[in-house]
Structure 1
Amino acid sequence: MGLNRPTQDLRRELLDLSRRLESLAGSIASIAKDLPDAEGMKLLGLLANVYAEADELEALANEVKQGHVQRLKQ
């Protein structure tokens, strides 16, 4: 059985958020390379958390796709 429209929208929103986070992290990484080593390394450490959050959003989107999570109303 297919996903209802609100659930499809939820999945799309989660994937969009994940992509935007990854894009933001890429932009910040390019800034970090121009910083002095200590500051750049601190920023790169924070970016690892951003990428982890993006991965969690994608995992949640996969749960939505499998039907484990639903949005009943929008």
Structure 2
Amino acid sequence: MPLTKPNQQLRRDLKDAEFALESAALEIFHKAQAGSDAEFLEAMKQVGKLHELADRLVGYGEEVKAGRIERQKAK
């Protein structure tokens, strides 16, 4: 069953947010490499959290695609 336009937009929005999180994680990682060991370890915790959030968004996008999550029309 094809996705409705609102659900297509929701899935695109989730993919865009996931990409933004992954990009931010990569930027933090590259900047942290120039810092001290303590700064690097703290940055890696942040990077890990961003990756976890990005993974959740991918999962939500798959649920939208499968029809388990739907965007309702505004009332």
Higher RCO (C-alpha under 8 Å, 6+ residues apart):
1
- Superposition RMSD in Å: 0.9
TM-score (norm. length: structure 1)? 0.95
How many correspondences in the alignment?
74
- Structure 1 CA distance, aligned partners of 2:27 and 2:46? 13
Provide the identity percentage.
36
Q: Distance in 2 between matches of 1:50 and 1:12?
A: 19
Separation (CA, whole Å) in 1 of partners of 2:46 and 2:16: 21
The corresponding residue for 1:63 is: 63
Q: What is the deviation of 1:72?
A: 1.6
Give the TM-score, by structure 2 length. 0.94
Over 3 Å off, 4+ runs = none
Unaligned runs of 5+ in 1: none
